[in-house]
Structures are given as C-alpha cells and as structure tokens.
Amino acid sequence: MNRRILTAVIASITCALVGLTVMQLYWIRSASSVREANFRQSVNEAMAKVVFQLERLEKRKAAEISPFGGMLEFNEHLEYSLFISPHQLDSLISRELNIRGIDTRFEFGIYEPEKNRFLLEPTGNSRKQLVRHGYAFQLFTRDLFSSPEYLLIHFPYESRFLLIKLWGMLLISVILIAVIVFSFVYTILLLIRQKKLSELKNDLINNMTHEFRTPISTISLACEALADPEIPRTEAMYASYTEMIREENNRLAILSERILQAAVLEKGQLKLRKEPVDLHRVIRDVVKSIRIQVEIKDGEIRTDLLANPPVVEGDRVHLTNLVYNLLDNANKYTPKKPVIRILTENAGEGITCTVEDNGMGIPRQEQKRIFDRLYRIPAGNIHDVRGFGLGLSYVRAIVDEHRGRISLESEPDKGTRFTVFLPYQIPES
C-alpha cells in the first residue's frame, strides 16, 4: 500500500474516531443536563409539598393554642419546636423525595438570613454546605411582619446519585467507544503489518530471483560448453563442468529446501521424527560440509565438543539444518577471516550448543526481531549478504519443537554468540 494512501486512511479513521467520541460525549452531557434538570424539578415539587404541609401543621397547632389563631393571617407564626421536630421534618422530606424517586442522602435546616442563624437543623456539621450549595424554599410567605425564613436542603452525593442514574448509558457509551478505539488500533496495526508484509514479500522475491539466477546461469553455461563442438573435450574438462553442475544443483536444492521449510512452518505442519541423535556427529558432518566456504575467506572453524554424553532425543534432519543455519549465518555475516567456534557442554537436563563468530554483530534494537520470519536487518553491509530471512526463524521453530531454548548475545563489530539448549528427552506436551 502506498505510504500516502496509508497516511490518508489513518487520518480519516482518526478524524472519524474523534468525531464519534465528541458526539458521544455531547450526548452524554446532554443526557446528564436533562437528568439534572429533572432532579431539580423533582426536588422543587417535593419541597413545595413539604412547605405546604409545614404551613398546615403550624395552622393546626395555632388553632389548638388559640381559637382565633387561624384567622390572624398577618400574625407571626409559631415557633417550629411547637408544631414539628427535626425527626418529623426529616421523615416528611424523605417521604416526598422517595415518592419522586430521590433516595440519596440529604441534609436540611431552616435558616433566617437576616439574623444569619438556623432556627432548626438536625446537626451542626452542614451549615456552610446548606447556605452555599443548598436548595432554598421560602416558608410562610404570607407572614409580612417577620423576616423571610427558608427551608434549606442539600444533597452531599448529588453528583454520585445522578451518575448512578446514568450508569446504563455511560456503560454503553464506554463500551462503544472502547470497541471503536480497539477497532481503530487493530485496523491501523493491520494496515501497517500488511504494508510490512508487502515490503518483505517484494524483498523475498528480489532475493529469490537473485539467489536462483546465479546457479541457473552457471548450469546453463556449463551445459552450453559441454554441447559446444568447438571446445576440446577432455576428461579434465568433463570432470570440471560436471562438478560445477553438481555443486550448483546442490545449491538450488538447498535454496528450494529453505523455501519448503518456510512453507511447512507457515502451515504449522512441522513434525519431528524422534530418535537418539549424536549431536557431536551432526556438528562434525555440518562442519565438514561448510568448512570449504569458510576457508575460502581465509577463516577457520574451531570445535570444542565437551558434552558427555552427546546424545539427545530429536529429529536428525532438523537438528542438522539447525546447526547448518547457525554456521552458515556466522560465515555469511563475517566478511573477512571468519573465526567460528562451536562449543558443547552438559547443562542440567540437556546440552548447550554455542556458536560464536567474530562478525559484524547485530544492533541491540534489531535483536528482538532477528528471529522473525523473512526479517533481515536493514543496515550497513547486511544488504550485501544473500538470503531470504528464513534461517533464524526456522532455527527458533526447531528449538521450540524440541522444547529447548535459544538466546542471543551480540555487539556491533564484535561478533555474535547463539546459545541453544536441547533437552536429553523431549517432554510430552
């Protein structure tokens, strides 16, 4: 995918996500405002009923005290303690609020602003909250000869109560936003991964073309030379060209085998043929086959095979390929005079095999990805080294199938050390 298209897609999805989130937050805020308005309206209705009942109780008590008290509309009202107690007022307020679905904690008091005093309150801990944040409802509005008095009510957990009422909508909104964000992140990661896979595919095709072209061209030239009647045909000439064809054919076989190995790993069809394997014998055979390639570069392979016994349970073919890939990498990534050391030791319930070289090393930031399929380090002279990026991913897969471990130590320009642990017996999965 083109970088500009990918950037445009990411920008579009980001804008859509931000827009949807803003709209969701707007609707939540609108719903919260509506819920708060309904709450205030319910409180007003409940307290209006409470004020009305307080006035009725006062008139009834005044009539009991004086037969003419109810007719004197402009007289001052009775003391609150004469017709209602804090507990009774609390019960009255609770009943009216519960009728309207308000069951959160509240505090109340009767306040006279002119004298800045409370005429009735259940506790003295909520004075400031009642005055500053409480709902105020005037009492005895017909009493023209006394200063105004107010029934104050405050809900300490009003916000929590409203939030609980909105929890269903909030939960759905959070889930929707989380799903959208997850889908967005997953889509972006998928797009980036697809782009990387596309680049890896192109690199693989280019590497395959380059790798196969050389042996095919060599075989073609050798066949043409053998078929050319003008070239003198001698035993030495036949032997030379035949050997050349054989070597290039073996090279093609190795390349095709690596691609097949990658296909097997991709499909998850890797199966081990378990048998006792002499690891030292495997190492010697591989060293014998690859020694010439190292010596051509004026290098050497040193072996310190110290494990005793050297036998592990495993698949001989895959273990041979494992050792070959490690030695081949050590040789390829050491441009001049490679010195490769192979060490085996007994370690607990298995054997460790260490392959160490004096090559160009691997940068620290690339070491985590070095075992990824098709991955090749995009830096420096590594571009000049042939390969498909399949070797180390295959090595790790084989180690995992044998229930072993592989670790890497490396520094740029100081070499690399791979340590593989293989158990004597493969544990049952």
Separation CA 218–CA 155 (nearest Å): 91
Which residues of the chain have a pLDDT value below 70?
1-2, 66-76, 122-125, 144-145, 200, 202-208, 210-211, 214, 251, 254-255, 257-270, 373-390, 429
Separation CA 136–CA 147 (nearest Å): 15
CATH number for the domain running over 168-267: 1.10.287.130
Separation CA 285–CA 262 (nearest Å): 23
User: What is the SS3 assignment for 241?
Assistant: helix
State residue 167's pLDDT score: 78
Q: Any alpha helices (H) in 67-143, and if so which ranges?
A: 80-83, 86-99, 127-133
β-bridge mates for residue 341, sequence order:
302, 356
User: What is the SS3 assignment for 112?
Assistant: strand
Task: Name the CA radius of gyration of the chain, rounded.
Answer: 44
* pLDDT tens sequence across 276-290: 999 999 999 889 888
Q: What's the Cα-to-Cα distance from 91 to each of 119, 136, 151, rounded to whole Å?
A: 18, 18, 15
β-bridge mates for residue 312, sequence order:
277
Cβ partners under 8 Å of residue 306, min gap 6:
343, 344, 345, 346
Lookup: tokens for 368: 């985590």
Omega before 335 within 30 of 0, i.e. cis: no
State residue 234's pLDDT score: 77
Output phi, psi for 94, to 5 deg.
-60, -45
Separation CA 95–CA 186 (nearest Å): 53
**pTM for this prediction:** 0.50
Domain ranges of the chain: 3-165, 168-267, 275-423
Output phi, psi for 400, to 5 deg.
-60, -40
Asked if residues 393 and 372 have their Cβ atoms less than 8 Å apart, the reply is yes
Closest by Cα among 34, 45, 24 to 99: 45
Closest by Cα among 312, 391, 398 to 406: 398
Lookup: tokens for 46: 């409940």
Q: Where are the beta strands (DSSP E) in 25-173?
A: 107-112, 117-120, 135-139, 149-154
SS3 content of the chain, % helix, strand, coil (to 5): 60, 15, 25
CATH number for the domain running over 275-423: 3.30.565.10
Lookup: tokens for 353: 């095999």
Separation CA 87–CA 219 (nearest Å): 107
Separation CA 200–CA 178 (nearest Å): 32
Q: Any alpha helices (H) in 100-138, and if so which ranges?
A: 127-133
- CA count, 13 A, side-chain hemisphere, 218: 18
**Buried b / exposed e along 131-141 (16+ C-beta atoms within 10 A):** beebbebebee
Name the amino acid, one letter, at 412.
P
Q: What's the Cα-to-Cα distance from 300 to each of 313, 331, 386, rounded to whole Å?
A: 30, 10, 21
Asked if residues 366 and 374 have their Cβ atoms less than 8 Å apart, the reply is no
Longest Cα–Cα distance of the chain, Å, equals: 149
Asked if residues 88 and 127 have their Cβ atoms less than 8 Å apart, the reply is no
Lookup: tokens for 424: 């004597």
The C-alpha angle 86, 89, 93, rounded to 5 degrees, equals: 140
